[in-house]
Amino acid sequence: MTRRVVVTGIGMITPLGHTVEATWEGIKAGKSGVGPITLFDASHYLVKIAAEVKDFDPAQHVPHKEVRRRDRYQHLMMPAAREAVSQSGIEVTDANRRRVGCIIGSAVGGVGSYYEQANLLFETQDPRRITPFGIPMLMVNGGSDLVSIEYGTVGISATPISACATGADCIGMAFDMIRAGRLDVAFAGCADAPIIPIGVAAFDRVGAVSRMNETPHQASRPFDKHRTGLVFCEGAGVLVLEELEFARKRGAIILAELVGYGSTSDAFHVTAPHPEGLGASAAIELALEDARLTPQDIDYISAHGTATQLNDVTETKAVKRVFGDHAYRVPMSSTKSMTGHGMGATAAIEAIFSILAMRDQIAPPTINLNEPDPECDLDYVPNVAREMKIDCVMSNSFGFGGHNVSLIFKSFS
């Protein structure tokens, strides 16, 4: 008999709030978290805006001695993990710790610390100035090991990386491990802090980032004819996944059931998606097959929706390829219009939004969608959240390099 996997805890920190509920209130209200960059001096940059996590004090979430030893992305991971674990009520004990794992990723890891330490070395030419904690700060698996140490889990601790699909792959791989009987519980998610000079400049050179510096709240505009690119974001999202009977035996409150996971590669281009969305549509098909569902069973789609010229069109094509005429009847929106694009972390955050959409029976809006691109002709829930019946949600995440992931969540029954 196939082991069923349920969600018992969710946690996040985003530019809209430091908790799930604070962020979700902003999402439902159609609030933008985008503003001027303050994490570094961007006055001489062509891109001067991003979606930053404001008023964040890592000392409130990370052990004091670890604050200076860890990168910002690891700092952001901890409040998300603690919120998720606290809500789940799970206790890691000597009896169960080998059956609890951490599948927590990061698309870019400690790039901020790498940038700072490299600059220090270039400026001083003195290797003795480099911090002895440089390696833990740089490690892409730093978030996973930090959470594992915090809770004493000794099951598998792993850090998948698949660009902007990382958070979704982490959730999907944890899902597979629980179904296969390798784990009973997994802390799964992703954190990223990419708002650094080299990151902003490099993505701008690719032509992927919006330069709408004068009107930052309007800068992220997925599916709009006048979209100008993505907006950088930072944050973290974590889910606690459990095998159903394990969760029931301990009396856990079940938030949703994870029923489908599809992951593919375009094998096409290092940055551009396949022009017909073939890899994306394959991931969608695999997720539906895995869940034993049809397109007609999906009530709402949480879109990847980056507001880049290529992504929005190809995602639309992919959904239409799989859903056919039903694509026009399924609301699909992009919360990146409000949060910005947090690289791999956004995939985990949007998975949580999918669960909240079912809980509250509300489809989040795509804000700043005033004049749809003629090639983007689906129902993207423009500008205002919509109350509707939602019992089954697909969450799409697509990344540079052709990484495509679809997850499907259902209301638990």
How many residues are recorded in the chain? 413
Task: Extract the tokens encoding 235.
Answer: 């944050």
pLDDT 10s digits, 210-238: 999 999 999 999 999 999 999 999 999 99
Q: What is the mean pLDDT of the chain?
A: 95
Lowest-confidence range among 105-109, 110-114, 305-309?
Answer: 110-114
For the cut 70, the answer to whether the pLDDT of residue 111 exceeds it is yes
Mean of the pLDDT values across residues 124-153? 89
Q: What pTM value is reported for the model?
A: 0.96
Residue 28: closest CA among 37, 20, 38: 20
Which one of 341, 376, 392, 403 is the catalytic residue? 341
Annotated active-site residue 326? The verdict is no
Which one of 274, 304, 392, 403 is the catalytic residue? 304
Mean of the pLDDT values across residues 167-175? 98
**Cα gap 74→92, rounded to integer Å:** 21
pLDDT band at 136 (very low <50, low <70, confident <90, very high): confident
Lowest-confidence range among 240-254, 262-276, 327-341, 399-413?
Answer: 262-276
CB 34 within 8 A of CB 48: no
**Cα gap 277→132, rounded to integer Å:** 45
Which one of 164, 170, 190, 392 is the catalytic residue? 164
Mean of the pLDDT values across residues 263-267? 91
**Cα gap 357→314, rounded to integer Å:** 24
How far lies 266's CA from each of 118, 143, 346, in Å? 34, 28, 20
For the cut 90, the answer to whether the pLDDT of residue 120 exceeds it is no
Annotated active-site residue 341? The verdict is yes
**pLDDT for res 130:** 84
CATH superfamily assigned to domain 264-410: Thiolase/Chalcone synthase (3.40.47.10)
Annotated active-site residue 376? The verdict is no
CATH topology (fold) of 5-249: Peroxisomal Thiolase; Chain A, domain 1 (3.40.47)
How far lies 216's CA from each of 86, 192, 199, 257, 412, in Å? 35, 21, 18, 36, 39
**pLDDT for res 1:** 67
CB 182 within 8 A of CB 100: no
Whether 264-410 and 5-249 are alike in CATH topology: the answer is yes
| In the chain, domain spans | 5-249, 264-410
Judged by DSSP in three states, 59 sits in helix
Percent residues over pLDDT 70 in the chain: 100
